Amino acid sequence: MVVLGMELWFIIGLIALILFFVVIVASLLGFIPQDRLPIQSALVLTAFVIAILAFIGNILDPSISQIGFIDLIGMIIIHPITALAAGFLAAGALEVAGAFDAAADALTRLEQLKVKGVAVFGITGTVTLLINMPTIIAMPCGRILAAALMPAALGLGYKVARRLGDPRMVGVIVFAFIVNAAASCGPSPLGGIGLLGEGLAKLPLASLSDPQQTGIIICTGVCALVMKFVTPLFPADMKKEEIKKKDEEIEVANDGGEELTVKVKEEEEEGLPPPPDDEEEPPPPDDEPIPEPLTPESPKEKESLFKRMSRMDTHLKNGYISLGLFMIVLALTLILQPVIPIQTILVVLAMVIMLIGRAKIQDLMAGVILHPIMAMTAGFLVAGAMGLAGGFDVLLILLRGLAEFEIAGFAILGYLGVAIILVNIPTIMPMPCGRILAAALVPGVYVYGEALVEITGNQIVLPVVLGAFIVNAAASCGPSPLGGIGGIGEGNMGVEIGSSGKSQQCGILFATGVTGLVIAFVVGATMI
Amino acid sequence: MANERIILLGVMIVAGILCGMMINVALDRKPWELGGITGGAVVGFLMWLL
């Protein structure tokens, strides 16, 4: 059936596609208020509207197939969801066992590590390790480590900022850490977003992880640089601290009648104070209370202090054991690639860590974060509806048309230009969870990747496009203003929500490119 | 396969060192300061290992 010079199936597919992108953009721009209709619910509704469209299309033209409720539910792929849930169980057990406290403790010890009087890591090495910690451990959702290690990142940020007299340092450390945490769900073998691409393209488990991790390392550094030099953010309390200090100085100067001193001090504050040459801790500021030494007076207090310390030691000890066990099991799983499903390994690991950390089932259940599970389910539903309504066929036709669009015999974008836009769509439209667009668009990216393989005759193009898209999607929840991971850092620093987005997006652009490069030139041969 | 793993290790360590150098610069240090480079190299190695 032809309507307005177009096939009816094409019109339905086009409407489905437009509807999907309209819902995404309207949510981003605030036209769909997230407190009333969250993006996940809006996408489930979209899936049902697309199903109704297909039903009407079927009445007009019986060659168009209906989309039933069972068809929609059948589109939810269970494997990544169960892997994600198992990953959360393991993460919950690790948290209760104190593994993340142990990681923070290890970082503090590393800072003080010296060989022949020379600091091996120092403050910058510790910062580099801390902000990359989420991708080293690679949990199924970046929120787990973002929340667990945020106090350590903030503490280190304030310490460096006070030491250098530069409040920008808090933002540099916090948001480099945040973008790393946001992207860390991409390479995670514990139900990370990478599984979607690996499953679809029948690639080995975690084969896209190393290239993504390489990209994320570069992304973290770039984000730190942009945050320092282009879009600096100042923590609200540190600004207050400075104003308070300035007021006090003026007050003191007025009392003594020495206005000249104030002017000199103000001039000094405008420029950066010279950083200290060594790693020594500066004396605490005057307005900061000096902590009293731990010398309890009464035997009762002494006992409770001793008990408290011994409890903390056990907690840390358990944490170190759990973290070590987790890392060994993870490394062995990736190296040996056993036939046992990753879910089983994770559940058994969670049970062992439960025993070590004496955690309860409730603790484990508390570790399960529903937000990404719902996001992935909504993504699968809308992707399923779009796929059944012909949305991805229309997408492919539109992308091909865009690639072949010429002005005066000169292709404006070409197939490569379109591929670059396609893999960056998740960060152009950052959703609160990267799984939404990853699940919804990964079939489209796969189809376009196959088309690119046909055109170029190069098999490696498909994993390159998939890997680049996945790392972009995974990291995109960092700069999202709709309750993305960036909000954790922005909330803690007391800055405007979404204000760290641009620096993170700059970093993610680098991650996308570097991931593609590493797949193409380093690991690609093992994938095809 | 083994060669590729070793090349990948090199690439990841270089990426880590680059990241460490960027962090050095972001923290007002010289790019080649030891801490950032060591930290970055460790990051690259750990990511490759896990």
Residues in chain A with pLDDT < 50? 257-303, 305, 308-309
Residues on chain B touching A204 (C-beta within 8 angstroms): none
- Taking the C-alpha atoms of residue A208 and residue A213, their distance in angstroms, rounded to an integer, is 9
d(CA A132, CA A119): 20
Chain B residues touching A124 at Cβ < 8 A: 20, 23-24, 27, 29, 33, 35-36, 39
SS3 A437: helix
Interface contact flag, A169 B38, Cβ < 8 Å: no
Alpha helices in A30-164 (DSSP H): 39-60, 69-74, 78-97, 99-111, 122-137, 142-164
- For chain B, the C-alpha Rg in angstroms (whole number) is 12
pLDDT at A339: 77
ipTM given for this complex: 0.76
pLDDT of residue A246: 59
- Nearest chain B residue (CA) to A225: B26
Burial A305-334 (b: 16+ CB within 10 A, else e): eeeeeeeeeebbebbbbbbebbbebbeebb
- Long-range pairs of A391-397 with CB within 8 A, sequence gap ≥ 24: A391/A13, A391/A16, A391/A17, A391/A20, A391/A50, A392/A13, A392/A443, A392/A444, A392/A447, A393/A13, A394/A10, A394/A13, A394/A14, A394/A16, A394/A17, A395/A17, A395/A444, A395/A447, A395/A448, A396/A444, A396/A447, A396/A448, A396/A451, A397/A10
Q: Which of A10, A7, A98 is CA-nearest to residue A359? A: A98
Which residues have CB under 8 Å from A311's CB, separation 6+? Answer: none
Give me B49's structure tokens: 């290992």
Two tokens, residue A512: 């996308």
Among A220, A201, A222, CA closest to A524:
A201
The alpha-carbon gap from B30 to the nearest alpha carbon of chain A, in Å, equals: 11
Q: Which residue of A has its CA nearest to B7?
A: A522
d(CA A101, CA A116): 29
* Beta carbons of A120 and B35 less than 8 Å apart: yes
Please judge whether A228 and B26 are an interchain contact, meaning their C-beta atoms are less than 8 angstroms apart.
yes
Query: Residue A468: what pLDDT?
Result: 93
Q: For residue A334, give the chain B residue with the closest CA.
A: B50
Give me the residues of B, 11-50, that contact A with CB < 8 A: 11-12, 15-16, 18-29, 33-40, 42-44, 46-50
Q: Residue A201 has what pLDDT?
A: 87
Find chain B residues with C-beta within 8 A of A210's C-beta.
Answer: 8, 12, 47-48
Domain boundaries, chain A: 78-238+304-366
For chain B, give the secondary structure using H, E and C: CHHHHHHHHHHHHHHHHHHHHHHHHHCCCCCCCHHHHHHHHHHHHHHHHC
- Which of A108, A118, A120, A214 should we substitute to test contact with B (largest number of B Cβ atoms within 10 Å)? A214
Tell me the nearest-neighbour CA distance from A513 into chain B, angstroms: 13
Is there a contact between A227 and A191 (Cβ–Cβ < 8 Å)? no
Of A121, A210, A224, the CB nearest to B12: A210
Nearest-neighbour CA in chain B from A229: distance (Å): 8
- Most A CBs within 10 Å: which of B38, B48, B49, as the mutation test of the A interface? B38
How many Cβ atoms are within 10 Å of A499's Cβ, its own excluded? Answer: 18
The pLDDT, as a whole number, for residue A276 is: 43
> Helix, strand or coil for residue A410?
strand
The pLDDT score that the predictor gives to residue A254 is 58
Distance CA A90, CA A75 (A): 27
Q: Looking at the partner chain, which of A131, A210, A220 has a beta carbon nearest the beta carbon of B48?
A: A210
Tens digit of pLDDT for each residue in B7-36?
878 887 888 888 788 777 876 778 888 877
